[in-house]
Amino acid sequence: MERLTTVFRHLNSPNVVLREVAASTGSFQRKPDDIVVVSALRTPITKAKRGGFKNTYVDDMLTAVFSGVLADTGLSPSDIEDVCVGNVNNPKTEVAARVAQFFSGMPETVPVYSTNRQCASGLQAFMNVAGSLKTGQCNIGIAAGVESMTKSPLGGGSFEFNPRMSEDQRAMDVLIPMGLTSENVAERFGITRQQQDDFALVSQQKAAKAAASGLFDAEIIPVTTTVEDAGGQLQKVTLSKDEGIRPTTIEGLAKLRPAFKEGGTSTAGNSSQVSDGAAAVVVTTRQEAVRRGLPVLGVLRSFAVMGCPPDIMGIGPAVAIPEALKKAGLTVRDIDIFEINEAFASQARYCVEKLGIPADRVNPKGGAIALGHPLGCTGTRMIATLLHELKRRGKPARGVVSMCMGTGMGAAAVFEYQGAN
């Protein structure tokens, strides 16, 4: 608890609060060097090992979203000057990214690389491209995220951990399975099984309503792939809907057994789903977007990464969001939508309550409990989900994308939708 108190101490400083309140009245300014998103699309998210992408290669999922954002913007593949792909567990992602680049028509002169910041990998890919724009390394780039949890070794192979880790408890805590960190958050902060199930039910209900209303259609690009059926035959299918959304009742959730430890409260129903999927966004500066006649979907306002105790890694958004808001000169009440990754209901609910976020501003179209959490894809997917929802509402507004990360960190980014160009 002493470590946690230290993490939050700076957030409770009166000076910090006063600075946030004083700056929160700022208008939606437009500057030539603003980092902007001009396209953001994703694949449907499918169930790992048994869903529509179980036989699909990582490079093919990436090809779909690369091709999708190029078609959406009308950009030539040769216009892209850098590509960064977030991924967590798929070996040789840098190879898959390069292959997808070629499959989508980008020439060999376009550089590409991958990055891994755990569950924030997709968001980190976005920030990496944003950084390249700010330093003048490129004028327009693609940030993407992808994960095939079907094809992930998930810690297999011959990798060995440093035996000196046993000398530092914090280092050992890094190895705690994510499910057990969820249980730690629930126990330490009194998040009950009922509260977690209630949170999970709302996520499913929001996602089901959004899907039925076609609210995901603008962000999803249909993907034609092959999938092996029960008889072992490969069938060509076109995927256009998320697979994780399912009819859910509180009674059904209550029947599920704890998934991570005996007597625990985190279950398959109130945790994120193991999933496959990809997403991509085109990132550039406002002046470049204007020069090319590209509509601005969203503007980056700030980004923050903060550490927290590894054994309760799920509190990451609760320490990262205030830092991102402080950098943007905003407060919680200035944000219209918070997209907070639902790795587990325990940690998501805790973060919402800790920061005092109104429930109706959190994941209005549902979160990872309903949609799924393809690790490296999620950060980029959340950008697409946020910006398309802000655009649909049709008025200038602000949103936050945030998630916890394995080993004990949180990341958060603040975006604006400023209306028509």
Say which amino acid occupies 13: S
Residues 14 and 412: their CA atoms lie apart, in Å, by 22
Query: Which residue's structure tokens are 């072992």?
Result: 232
Residue in 84, 138, 377, 404 annotated catalytic = 404
Position of tokens 């998930």? 154
User: 93-132 burial string, b = 16+ CB within 10 Å, else e?
Assistant: beebbbbbbeebebeeebbbebbbbbbbbbbbbbbbbbeb
Provide the 8-state DSSP code for 273: P
pLDDT score for 15? 37
- Pairing verdict, β 140-148 and 275-285: antiparallel
**pLDDT of amino acid 16:** 34
DSSP 192-236: -HHHHHHHHHHHHHHHHHHHHTTTTTTTB--EEEEEE-TTS-EEE
pLDDT at residue 17, as a whole number: 29
Dihedral of CA 269/367/21/134: which sign?
positive
What's the pLDDT at 161? 60
Q: Where are the beta strands (DSSP E) in 298-408?
A: 298-307, 337-340, 397-405
Give Dmax (Cα) for the chain.
Answer: 65
pLDDT attached to residue 174:
76
d(C-alpha 316, C-alpha 271), whole Å: 16
Residue type for 407, please?
A: T
Reading the chain (421 residues) residue by residue, the pLDDT tens digits are 444 444 444 444 433 322 332 333 356 889 999 999 999 999 999 999 999 999 898 989 999 999 999 999 999 999 999 999 999 988 888 888 998 999 999 998 999 999 999 999 999 999 999 999 999 999 999 999 999 998 887 633 333 465 777 887 877 887 899 999 999 999 999 999 999 999 999 999 999 999 999 999 999 999 999 999 988 999 999 999 999 999 999 999 999 999 999 999 999 999 999 999 999 999 999 999 999 999 999 999 999 999 999 999 999 999 999 999 999 999 999 999 999 999 999 999 999 999 999 999 999 999 999 999 999 999 999 999 999 999 999 999 999 999 999 989 999 999 999 987 6
Residue of 84, 119, 351, 377 with catalytic role:
119
Using a 10 angstrom Cβ sphere, with 0-12 exposed, 13-18 middle and 19 or more buried, the burial of residue 153 is exposed
Strand, helix or coil for residue 249 = coil
Is residue 404 annotated as part of the catalytic site, yes or no? yes
Pseudo-torsion of CA 324, 141, 58, 223, nearest 10°?
Answer: 100
Query: Helix (H, G, I), strand (E, B), or coil: what is residue 136?
Result: coil
- This prediction's pTM: 0.84
Count the neighbouring beta carbons within 10 Å of the beta carbon of residue 293. 9
Using an 8 Å Cβ cutoff, are 297 and 418 in contact?
A: no
- Coil/strand/helix, residue 281: strand
Q: Which of 177, 120, 157, 139 is nearest to 310 (CA)?
A: 177
